[in-house]
A and B are shown apart, each in its own frame.
Chain A
Amino acid sequence: MHTDLCHEIRHDWMALLGILVMGLILLMAIFAPLLSPYSPSDYTGRIFSPPSLDHLLGTDSMGQDIWTRLLFGARTSLLVAASVALFASSLSVFIGASCALVGGLYDRFWMRVVDVMISLPTIIVMILIAAYFRPSLPLLILLISAFSWSGGARIVRSQVLTLKERMHIYAARTFGADPWHILKTHIVPDISPIIASLMIHDARRAVFMEAGLAFLGVSDPLIISWGKMMHQALAFTYLDVWKWWLLPTGILLSLTLVSLSFLGVSLEAAMDPRLYRHEREHGREHDRCYEDVNGQDYGNEREEHENGEIGLSEAGGC
């Protein structure tokens, strides 16, 4: 796993587009108070006013400035995305790597937990829990993280299983390195591209879930969220307000999700040497060589292939 991701990604329009859009949304979120004179929960005195110089995107049914709420909604989405990416991927790395390193009953226990978590339909369980707790932002982040680490843990485990047989890890062990040290200095840097891709997947799922739960109306009513705005706006499609209320909110949410999945797909393509060769063939020799090496062990190769592809398709739908 020694691919220079920065180099790979620099020539990929999908990744560049993803980074550009994410950067713009990040700027919106950071400078939200500077970009709008109103506070998101202020009552401006007029409801359903069309876009004007005072209110760039008009006001909603509660008389709040829609542009301001969009800006502050970006804060919620990105905060949830970043925190979940951090928590869930740390859990994935820690549990996955420790399973591979410790093995035995510990490994079997966690892999059983992962199996169960993967077979559970996450969103449905989240709706059930959220229906009772109406989670606040910190609780929401913890909940989404708790349901997002399992797939990643399995990927990390399989990577670490092969990594730990490498010479340099053996060498580190003979020098007396404990598992924690090996994890920190040898394994995590080596699988950092995988961790990056996991984080992007987790972030995308988190944005989607936060918006989805808010759209269903089961998250804390105090959170300013794009999903919540769409939930409110959907009731007024018979008026013209959807043009500056429902549509911009949905487009911003979609832009965030699409740019995250573009980033995820191009990261995955950069990491997967097979996809790399398919999409950017440098010459026939490469393909020949790849077929000769893998051609004999047909069944094995196919299974690997499927796993890779399922990862990809997961990047699409959520």
Chain B
Amino acid sequence: MQDNKSRRGGVFSYLLALLVIFALNFILPRMMPGDPLHAIYGDEALVAMTPQMEAHLIELFALDKSWSEQMVAYVLALLQGNLGFSYYYKDEVSAVIMGALPWTLLLVGLSLLIATALGVILGIESGYRRRERLDRGLLAGLMLLAGLPDFFLGILLLLIFGVSLHLFPLSGALTPYSGLEGLPLVVDIARHLFLPLAALVLVDVGGIYLLTRNTVVTILKEGFMLTARAKGCSEFCLRYSHAGRNALLPVTTATGLRIPQLITGALFIEIVFSYPGLGLMLRTALDARDYPLIQGILLLATITVLTANLIVDHIYKRLDPRVRYAY
């Protein structure tokens, strides 16, 4: 009963969190000193702006009306998917973001998959051999990695493998103007992706590893493990079908917590490697004070995080029969 209530509460808090973000996006520019149009678009934008455009924008945001009418105009624009106009890229914010989004999705998606798989496998092996040399080494090494700030880990990889050893390209996602097609293009993309991906996976894998290891250590003491051993399960089956499967539950829950870290981590790491995703675009927008673009990127990131958490809540319910039967 309690569980049921708290889950429904979960959806409600996500909605509230989303409202908080919308409210911040609405209020922050209007709290700044001076003309709200300046605050919404930034001083630099207005230099290039024609009087007609200014009049159009004032009408669009209802800036000459009361706050309540401005709010209605803001919500209507959002509902139409209109995030505003990026003066720096001279295009609609939504179009600009869509151009960078695939690279970030590639980076975050792949690192989520690789880090989860790696973390779970290492965690199971390490928990199974608790206090042997492999376990101690992995524990110390991964704890150290998890403690490093993500952007410095990226910088380290860049300095070692890019700057000093010249093994990988220093920046970008493709070699520009190379005219590559087919397989060479894929290889080129993979070469550019490798270092940012490695950095993101290394930062992320520690938490999942630690969680799996600790869960496996507790599961090994359970009665069903003894039963499985008694009925003649192989070591592999013991480790993965019995211990590993049970360890997946907390891993799924933790995935919800990891996604915000992964997304912000990707933003930072893209900046380090000048990888042309949302992170690098955010850095450009911050430097140019292109406020509509900053708002758009951060809004998208927040919505992704909240949706991911919501989905994880539901997957969790499907994975664990105990939670499902609680209804």
Binding site for B on A (CB under 8 A): 112, 115-116, 118-125, 127-129, 131-132, 208, 211-212, 215-218, 230, 234, 237-238, 242, 246-247, 250, 253-254, 257-258, 261-262, 265, 275, 278, 287, 291, 299, 305-306, 309-310, 312-314, 316-318
Contact = CB atoms under 8 A, between A and B. Distances in A.
A249 to B, nearest CB: 9
B286 to A, nearest CB: 6
23 contacts: A112-B9, A116-B17, A119-B14, A120-B302, A124-B264, A125-B24, A131-B294, A132-B28, A217-B283, A242-B159, A250-B149, A250-B152, A253-B152, A254-B149, A258-B148, A275-B214, A278-B217, A309-B210, A312-B211, A312-B214, A314-B207, A317-B204, A317-B265
Given A119-B17, A237-B159, A261 B147 contact: yes
B221 A234 contact: no
B271 A309 contact: no
A181 B261 CA distance: 40
Contact of A116 (B13, B150, B207): B13
B149 A211 contact: yes
Contacts of B309: 119
Given A115-B13, A120-B20, A310-B254, A131 B286 contact: yes
A128 B24 contact: yes
A261 B140 CA distance: 12
A124 B257 contact: no
Given A234-B155, A316-B143, A121 B203 contact: no
B250 interface: yes
B225 interface: no
Contacts of A208: 149
B37 interface: no
Given A305-B218, A309-B211, A317-B206, A257 B286 contact: no
A166 B146 CA distance: 39
B190 interface: no
B147 A316 contact: yes
Interface in B171-226: 203-204, 206-208, 210-211, 214-215, 217-218, 221
Contacts of A123: 260, 264
Contacts of B264: 121, 123-124
B205 to A, nearest CB: 10
Contacts, number: 168
B156 interface: yes
Contacts of A254: 147-149, 152
Nearest to B300: A124
A199 to B, nearest CB: 17
Nearest to A249: B152
Nearest to B326: A299
A306 B301 contact: no
A247 B210 CA distance: 28
B17 A120 contact: yes
A299 B320 CA distance: 11
B27 to A, nearest CB: 10
Contacts of B249: 306
Interface of B: 9-10, 13-14, 16-17, 20-21, 24-25, 28-29, 31-32, 39, 143-144, 146-152, 155-156, 158-159, 163, 170, 203-204, 206-208, 210-211, 214-215, 217-218, 221, 249-250, 253-254, 257-258, 260-261, 263-265, 268, 271-272, 282-283, 286-287, 289, 291, 294-295, 298, 301-302, 305-306, 309, 322
B203 A317 contact: yes
Contacts of A309: 210-211, 214-215, 250, 254
A243 to B, nearest CB: 9
A129 B147 contact: no
A261 B145 CA distance: 11
A124 B221 contact: no
A129 B27 CA distance: 11
A291 B258 CA distance: 31
Contacts of B271: 215-216, 234
Contacts of B158: 237
Nearest to A114: B13
Given A116-B17, A127-B298, A316-B147, A215 B268 contact: yes
Given A112-B16, A128-B25, A317-B206, A230 B151 contact: yes
A313 B207 contact: yes
A118 B298 CA distance: 17
B128 to A, nearest CB: 14
A228 B206 CA distance: 27
Contact of B272 (A132, A234, A238, A314): A234
A128 B29 CA distance: 11
A129 B24 CA distance: 8
A310 B21 CA distance: 25
Contacts of B302: 120-121, 124-125
Contacts of A242: 159, 163
B64 to A, nearest CB: 22
A131 B258 CA distance: 24
A217 B221 contact: no
A230 B152 contact: yes
B21 A120 contact: yes
Given A127-B286, A132-B29, A309-B211, 17 more contacts: A118-B13, A122-B260, A123-B260, A124-B302, A131-B289, A132-B31, A208-B149, A215-B268, A230-B151, A262-B147, A278-B218, A305-B250, A306-B249, A306-B250, A309-B215, A312-B214, A313-B257
